[in-house]
Amino acid sequence: MKRLSWDQYFMAQSHLLASRSTCTRLVVGATIVRDKRIIAGGYNGSIAGGPHCTDEGCYIVDGHCVRTIHAEMNAILQCAKFGEPTDGAEIYVTHYPCIQCCKAIIQAGIKSVYFAKDYKNDPYAEELYKAAKVNVKKVPFDNFFELKMMGNVTQ
């Protein structure tokens, strides 16, 4: 039986989380992992109980939607809320993290960032990751479910 690699497994989880996004501009999911165990997940959307962009439209200020909180931040804050340490953890994200999420990832002590798609990759974020000794790796996402339905994965 062919199984998903750990990277593909956690990236698949991030894509599943992204399906909950209420952002109309970009759908993003993030999964935080420590010792091959999922400790938190997040997707981009409004704060809990707040109006969603899918319902009321984006709230744009200086070219950015301020209604939305990013998937990476949601996952990190979920760890804070439930007392789950992030020091030394890994994060799997559907898209390259923005500069603000980059800084939060570093401050949270996350040591590896895996992303599936490039998205406005900021050169300063790359500098910050390097200085903080955070491993950053592109892990393209192969949709396991589509492959299985097409008969390309054996059971």
Residue ranges for the binding site for Zn(2+)? 70, 98, 101
User: Among the options 56, 72, 84, 90, which is catalytic?
Assistant: 72
> How far is residue 81's CA from residue 102's CA, in Å, rounded to a whole number?
20
DSSP three-state, residue 14: helix
Which tokens hold the place of 37? 């165990």
Active site residue 72: yes
* Binding-site residues: 70, 98, 101
Return phi, psi of residue 122, to 5°: -85, 125
> How far is residue 116's CA from residue 18's CA, in Å, rounded to a whole number?
12
> How far is residue 56's CA from residue 43's CA, in Å, rounded to a whole number?
18
The catalytic site residues sit at: 72
